[in-house]
Structure 1
Amino acid sequence: MRIVAVILVVSSLMMCAKKINKIEGGPNSNADTDTETQINSSDPGVNCTYTVKPSEWFVDGTGIPAGSTICIPAGTRGPLLLKNFKGTAAKPIIIINKGGRVTFTEQATASYAFKTQNCQYFKITGNGNPAIKYGFVVNGGNIGMTMDDLSSDFEIANVEVRNSAFAGIMAKTDPSCDVATQRGHFIMRNILLHDNYVHKTGGEGFYVGNSFYANGVSLACGKVLPHDVANVKVYNNIIDSTGCEGIQVGSATAGAEIYNNTVRSPGLKPFAAGQDNGIQIGEGTGGKCYNNLVKDAPGNGIIVLGLGDNLVFNNYILNSGAHGIFADSRYTPGLNFQFINNTIIAPALNGIKLNSEIIPMNTVINNVIISAGSGIAIARNNLGVELTSLNNYVNNDINTCKFVNYSADDFHLQSSSPLINAGANVLPYGVGFDYYSTARPAGSTFDIGATEY
């Protein structure tokens, strides 16, 4: 284990805030996207506090001051473990590529390709060269990137992750007999995962938080409960060809948002039945899921097992092998599952399936459901499922929607669309914009579906 000696260098960090934009291009798009921290490490005004050598597989950040910039030189290298890096909210530690693309390569049988342990207030951002969208490439490992061992308050952006045997990007500390890892003793906070490209993974693309919020896990010391996750945002990512869910978020009890992501072909080789969905809002997770495109999931497009304060809106869910949206109440102390202004096309089973008896009310408003394979647009498990259903458009012909170019994923509406001005007012539910960030209503009345004309 090598102790890193550092010299504090006063650096002037170039900060550039940008508007959040919907990703329109593919993984090679250079379109402007939101990145909280834009730093060009080749800029002479930015100094590297520490440069990670190609031969270093482990760096201990003890003694590296808050606000430091850790540079990783361009080239192909082996795995990297960062431990004990501690910034502050005002002065996070920046980990950035220098001089071009950095590729971390590891065998799929190894536990990880890039890992943090006990790190806080840090940002891993592959935008060191503005000509390269994904300046960090993580290739291989059982888990491509894992933020582990009580890591918290971090951002991961502009990273490509591929060919992991299990998860692409993982963020959680599983509970153990060490009480520091258990609920009530640790909360993983302030997580930003954005503008990344995750593909060809053996398991989940993004795996955030523990999956077993309600019952925890049984260990030699008894049953232990996983930690909460607070203020997690997963957005502007492209996820393609994953073995299990494209995005899975669990135990996120406050401030969770999943938005502006494109999920294509998830669930290709699930480890077990029911792990082949597009987006999973897991046990213990509340918040919002919106403006996502989910295509060709063998299971459900979006599955909701959340807290009961869940708002799912403005999503395009295409060609799901099961239900477009499936909702089940497990650990659900909240009041409402709300499904508003989603467009669901050609699910093999129901458009929306509600197995959510515990929820006091399920709200289904302004959704488009086309060609449900079962012939049932909105299905309830039994009459004990409370439902408010308003202004939903159901049809078996996609052409009736009058999209500008549906086959090219252009979901704007033609002026003759029957969806225009046919919806209910959804401002009271907090839905004030559409899939393309157009304000609702754009006309005299609200439109049905994810796009406002």
Structure 2
Amino acid sequence: MFCFIIIVFIGCTEDELLADSSLAGENAPEEAAVFQAGEVAGCTDSRAINSGGASYDNNTCQYTPTSCADCDYVVRAGDKVIDNAWIGLPPGSTIGIKSGGREPVIFRNFHGTADQPFIFINCDGPVKITGDLPGIKLHNSSHIRLTGTGSTDDYGIVVAGTRPFGVVAELGTTDFEIDHLEVKGTRSAGIAARTRPVCDGSTNRGTFIQRNTIIHHNYIHDVADEAMYIGGSHWHTSFPAISECSGKILYEPELEGVRIYNNRVENTGRDGIQVGSATKDCQIYNNQIINYGLQNITIHQSGIQINPGTTGEVYNNFIKGGTGRAIFINGYDNQVYNNLILDCSKDAIQIGDRNPPAGMSYRIVNNTLVNIDGYGVKMNSKLSVDNVFYNNVLINTSGDIYKFDNNMDFDVSNNFLGNGIEEAVFENPQNLDFSPVEGSPIFDGGLGMEQIDNINITSDYLFQLRKSGEQVDIGAFEKQVD
């Protein structure tokens, strides 16, 4: 067994806490407790010195510092554009970014392979990038990794106060990984990873697919707009007209293979994490999102926003203290489970229609929702079918469990609704352990996964065994019974 640490830094907006919750005010913890996790979690990074065979990463990876002398190429402080069409490095090469302060840089035309990606990494210590351009641009590249694991710092590359973005992956960039960066103080989004269609058709839908977008272990905070803007927002319609090719109808490219996990997001002007056009194999999990939507713009104030065209899973996320909805879904065929949502100023989960394919469903299962100034789930989707809202805990919701019209296909079952934190009898809610004690009304009170069509949840919020007792518990946490 090993420790799985969840650290939560409290930075609340004025109206996010409800008075009759025992989590409110001066009783709120500065840090969460240390919980025991099952063997499903561990170090998953093959570059780490302690990589294991776990399915999910738990922040325990350890790395050997990178020396610039061991790199195949070193980016110096004055270098602004690194183009592999000029320098001709082979796939698998390591490009070191020399430690110290520097101006923004562009990496262009690096095409590795799945087995031999190009590695961009800080060397001889941490790197800090500032300036009036995006801090790092990844252009027309594939099979690359930008990582801040080249020093003993948690985030070996820091991008601060750049404009408008911190890091950009665009212009046909695909099959890329961004990890262990701190991005702060940007004038727009922290990380923008999307390619737009162009007049010659080379990056239009049907021609180009952005594959394997992997973003993890980053700390993005105090940014003017979204922490992450991943994929386009116009999947359900054509892209806005471009004057250079007037009269030509363009469509944004789709994404396949998205993994966004173990990121720490705090104090964003707009959405915390926004993903659009991810039509295949998308997972957003184990992220910590606090104080989102601080500009208070109605359509840009969610903790996690699933934009049109996006399918897949949203699970094991901690979302707290924003001005809008915790999770706003306009995709299709989405599973939302094992999320812990606290102090939400609007509905915890809202679901809408943006031209989803026929016959698709939403499955909202085993979430814990506490202090919700609205509904547990608000449904505006008339086109989806066989939707379910099962095994969820709702404490201190100002609205009802759900809101939807009678002509919507939505089944609500085995949820727990309480007016106070004490009613559910949690293990240690002050330390964010919402596991039920034995005898709690949510202990062994849920529907088993075998009773829910098209879903297979094997672990809980802490990546422990999902069914430990006689039956599945209600909520995100599962009491582990000896």
Q: Is TM-score (shorter-chain normalized) higher than 0.5?
A: yes
Is 1:208 matched with 2:230?
A: yes
Distance 2:275 2:422 in 1: 34
Structure 2 letter corresponding to 1:336: S
Contact persistence 2:364–2:388 (CA under 8 A): yes
Equivalent in the alignment of 1:50: 73
Distance 2:185 2:279 in 1: 31
Equivalent in the alignment of 2:274: 248
Among 140, 154, 165, the alignment partner of 2:176 is 154
Equivalent in the alignment of 2:212: 190
DSSP-derived class of the 1:103 partner: strand
Equivalent in the alignment of 1:25: 7
> Which structure would you say has the larger RCO, counting Cα contacts within 8 Å and 6 or more residues apart?
2
DSSP-derived class of the 1:224 partner: coil
Q: Aligned-pair distance for 1:339?
A: 0.1
Q: Aligned-pair distance for 1:384?
A: 1.3
Equivalent in the alignment of 1:400: 423
Distance 1:36 1:149 in 2: 28
Equivalent in the alignment of 2:137: 115
The two structures have a TM-score, normalised by structure 2, of 0.84
Q: Aligned-pair distance for 1:409?
A: 2.1
Q: Which runs of 5+ in 1 are unaligned?
A: 1-18
Contact persistence 2:458–2:465 (CA under 8 A): yes
Contact persistence 1:123–1:155 (CA under 8 A): yes
Structure 1 letter corresponding to 2:110: F
Distance 2:127 2:43 in 1: 21
DSSP-derived class of the 1:73 partner: strand
Q: Aligned-pair distance for 1:440?
A: 1.7
Contact persistence 2:83–2:108 (CA under 8 A): yes
Q: Aligned-pair distance for 1:20?
A: 11
Q: Which runs of 5+ in 2 are unaligned?
A: 10-30, 35-41, 49-62
- Show the 5 A alignment for 1:192-341: 192-219=214-241, 220-270=246-296, 272-307=297-332, 309-333=333-357, 334-341=359-366
Contact persistence 1:292–1:316 (CA under 8 A): yes
Measured against aligned partners, the alpha-carbon deviations of 1:364-387 in whole angstroms (never above 9, x if no partner) come to 11011112112x11111x111111
Structure 2 letter corresponding to 1:338: R
Q: 1:354 to 1:294 in 2, by over 3 A?
A: same
Contact persistence 1:310–1:338 (CA under 8 A): yes
Distance 1:146 1:23 in 2: 30
DSSP-derived class of the 2:423 partner: helix
Structure 1 letter corresponding to 2:141: C
Distance 1:134 1:54 in 2: 19
Equivalent in the alignment of 1:383: 406
Equivalent in the alignment of 1:5: none
DSSP-derived class of the 1:123 partner: strand
Contact persistence 2:189–2:229 (CA under 8 A): yes
Measured against aligned partners, the alpha-carbon deviations of 1:206-233 in whole angstroms (never above 9, x if no partner) come to 1100011010223123331100000010
Contact persistence 1:155–1:193 (CA under 8 A): yes
Among 419, 423, 432, the alignment partner of 1:409 is 432
Q: Aligned-pair distance for 1:137?
A: 0.5
Q: 1:36 to 1:156 in 2, by over 3 A?
A: farther
Q: Aligned-pair distance for 1:33?
A: 5.3
Q: Aligned-pair distance for 1:43?
A: 6.3
Equivalent in the alignment of 2:20: none
Measured against aligned partners, the alpha-carbon deviations of 1:265-318 in whole angstroms (never above 9, x if no partner) come to 010015x422111001110000000000000121101011112x1110000111
Equivalent in the alignment of 1:70: 95
Contact persistence 2:67–2:123 (CA under 8 A): no
Structure 1 letter corresponding to 2:263: N
Contact persistence 1:441–1:452 (CA under 8 A): yes
Distance 1:42 1:322 in 2: 45
Measured against aligned partners, the alpha-carbon deviations of 1:229-269 in whole angstroms (never above 9, x if no partner) come to 00010000000000101000000000000000000001001
Distance 2:410 2:397 in 1: 19
Structure 1 letter corresponding to 2:337: F
Range that drifts further, 410-419 or 79-88: 410-419
The two structures have a TM-score, normalised by structure 1, of 0.90
DSSP-derived class of the 2:70 partner: coil
Q: Aligned-pair distance for 1:415?
A: 3.0
Distance 2:7 2:124 in 1: 25
Contact persistence 2:298–2:324 (CA under 8 A): no
Q: Aligned-pair distance for 1:412?
A: 2.9
User: Percent identity between the aligned chains?
Assistant: 34
DSSP-derived class of the 2:143 partner: strand
Contact persistence 1:21–1:33 (CA under 8 A): no
Range that drifts further, 272-281 or 235-244: 272-281
Distance 2:4 2:248 in 1: 46
Aligned residues: 425
Contact persistence 2:118–2:145 (CA under 8 A): yes
Give the CA RMSD over aligned residues: 2.1
Measured against aligned partners, the alpha-carbon deviations of 1:383-429 in whole angstroms (never above 9, x if no partner) come to 11111111011111111122233233232333342211010012452
- Show the 5 A alignment for 1:80-99: 80-99=105-124
Structure 1 letter corresponding to 2:347: H
Distance 1:451 1:294 in 2: 15
Equivalent in the alignment of 2:469: 443
Distance 1:166 1:241 in 2: 13
